[in-house]
Amino acid sequence: MRSPALAPLLVLVLGGLPAAASVDDSDWPSYGRDAGGSRYSPLADLTPENVERLEVAWTFRTGELDEARSAKWKSATFEATPILAGGNLVFCSGQQRIFALDPETGRERWRADVARARGVKRADAACRGVASWLDPAAEPGAACRLRILTATLDAELIALDAATGARCAGFGKGGSVDLDRGIAHTERGHYGVTSPPVVIGELVFVGSAVGDNQRTDDSSGVVRAYDVRTGEYRFGWDPIPKNPEDPAFATWEDGSALRTGAANAWAQLSADPDRGLVFVPTGSASPDFFGGERRGENRWANSVVALRAKDGSLAWGFQLVHHDLWDYDAPAQPTLVTVNRGSQKIAAVVQATKMGHLFVLDRESGKPLFPVEERPVPQSDVPGEATSPTQPFPVKPDPLVPQRLRPEDAFGITPLDRASCRKKIASYRSEGIFTPPSLEGSIIFPGNAGGSNWGSVAFDPKSGLLYANTSRVAHVVKLIPRDELDAAREANPGKEISPMRGTPFGMMRDVLLSPLMIPCNPPPWGALAAIDLATGERRFESVLGTTRDLAPVPIPIAWGTPNQGGPIVTAGGLVFIGAAMDDFLRAFDASTGEEIWKGRLPAGGQATPMTYRAGGRQFVVIAAGGHGRMTTTLGDSVVAFAPSKP
């Protein structure tokens, strides 16, 4: 375990302190281990040759499962990745509590309830992690010298003493900053934060989560920076330009930027302290599936942008989807990597997408390192809509997922099942990943939760390989004239139907399943791939997940499953990942993609794991709490695996 003398090293990556210092190999000081989200650990105690020695070392239960059930939180999740801060393993729960554990034993050291209100119906109910910051000006032993920073579903930014869990009195008002303040059009339960903030220098940056498909003038998606000591507001950057003199304003026809909301960064931000840049993945403008009230390219929605950390100004932006109609948010943390081109080493950022595209961009300029082509895409026939004529397609790497579903692709476990899927697919518009929503129904494939999602990717700086897990399940989106919405709700109980107020249409969205409730697209429905970033070539693709916990009988057919959560990679040559809908943590050989170990979890592992060394052993830890929307086994456990003690 790390000695107290090494505690100041804890947040150098997060805090933007001098680059000459380094983080101890055993540490995992921020959500993606480093502020660039590499999810790479230099630990090599565990290898393909000895990983089978892993066993459950300890399990900690938050005690929230019964609470979630009694509150009937169908969307309850436990998606957190712990950090190792000040000798404590610290994480947040979906019920808005912060826990600090002994990393070797799992014994609770403190907990803090940061919820402002309970029983609120929410668009989402996740907390994916916390951040930390060491105050270099504070005396050793001073309260809040090392602090935990969390942003909540209740739209608060909170600072806690890492040693005790007590609120930092000098931060905001009694340790809290109200993030609702200054945000127009917020609705209770539809505006908050689900991802950890990021610290660079003495500023803490925070995005937001906005409920989808509610109305045109939804909550602002402004990204804001606060003084990390005092909580004082410093500045903000709105992905939707409000100043007519901003060049991006012209990409919103008829001044629609002034009456449109969202485009929020709900996924994790990244930071490059050496360059003074913060990287922001932005989402869809409101509402998601009809853009007739926001015609134009809609910059900087659906983009990855670099902000200057000193003042929040735009250094560069790259739009991943023009005029989004598919809920194709930038769903993943921008991952900072180094790309080798011969003897040249290029600082880059990789943005994974729901479409299965990987955009590899120069970190300083935003220019693609592999060509990106603007290709014609299908056009909308919905009255009032104006589809973008083209969309950007990276030439390399190749798409991580299939991007079109045809009737002849239909899958089924019986001939009747397959025939039903074939008929369903033929009845909808299905012309690839940019098939626009329609009145008859359009297939969105690999789906709004497909391709890559918030689990992001992992990058091994030694091999130059990037690891990405993907989901592949088709959805059907149908636009419903407003005067038919009530009838549609009555005729389709249990299906997602959203109002999209301010437009002529509501929206209905559902997974495309066979009569036997099997996805109509062929397996694998989940996979793990390795991409060589030097060449853009795929090194391997492995099936991720089985039917073990999905079928009426526990038969582990290796068809893969949809997944939520991401991978980590270690210097020992292992990729660890949970994420799949069966209840396992898995280890894959980082070179070959062979699955070489799996450990049983008490609930769904829809979270990204992390690893560290304590007491002379390398631990791998994951939150096993399941995911209500995915119908995986619900729980409230944090599970640590380690080799048995000698």
Determine, yes or no, domain membership for 1.
no
**Binned average pLDDT, 10 residues per bin, the chain of 646 residues:** 33 33 74 97 98 98 81 71 96 94 98 82 79 96 97 96 97 96 74 95 96 89 98 98 97 96 97 98 97 98 98 98 98 97 94 98 98 98 98 98 97 96 98 97 92 96 98 97 96 92 96 95 98 98 94 84 97 98 97 98 97 97 91 94 89
Expressed as residue numbers, the domain containing 252 is 30-41+54-643
Q: 23 with 10: CB under 8 angstroms? A: yes
Determine, yes or no, domain membership for 59.
yes
327 is catalytic: yes
Determine, yes or no, domain membership for 107.
yes
Query: Alpha-carbon distance 533 to 351, whole Å?
Result: 12
Residue 15: enclosing H or E segment and its boundaries?
helix 12-15
Bridge pairing between strands 568-570 and 574-577: antiparallel
Determine, yes or no, domain membership for 2.
no
Secondary structure (DSSP) of 48-109: TTTGGGEEEEEEEE-S-HHHHHHTT-TT-B-----EEETTEEEEE-TTSEEEEE-TTT--EE
Domains: count for the chain: 1
Q: Among positive and negative, which fits the CA dihedral 589, 452, 82, 546?
A: negative
Pair of tokens at residue 361: 């961009």
Whether cis (ω within 30° of 0) applies to the bond prior to 437 is no
* Residue tagged active-site, from 212, 217, 327, 549: 327
Q: 152 with 130: CB under 8 angstroms? A: no
Residue 394: enclosing H or E segment and its boundaries?
strand 390-394
Q: Reading across the β-sheet that carries 335-341, which strands appear in turn?
A: 335-341, 344-352, 358-362
Determine, yes or no, domain membership for 18.
no
For 408, counting Cβ atoms within 10 Å of its Cβ (0-12 exposed, 13-18 middle, 19+ buried), the class is: exposed
What's the CATH number where 232 sits? 2.140.10.10
Determine, yes or no, domain membership for 4.
no
Backbone φ and ψ of 68, nearest 5° = -65, -40
β-pair partners for 460: 465
Query: Alpha-carbon distance 555 to 564, whole Å?
Result: 22
Pair of tokens at residue 119: 């029983």
Q: Count the Cβ atoms, other than its own, within 10 Å of residue 49.
A: 10
Determine, yes or no, domain membership for 21.
no
Determine, yes or no, domain membership for 231.
yes
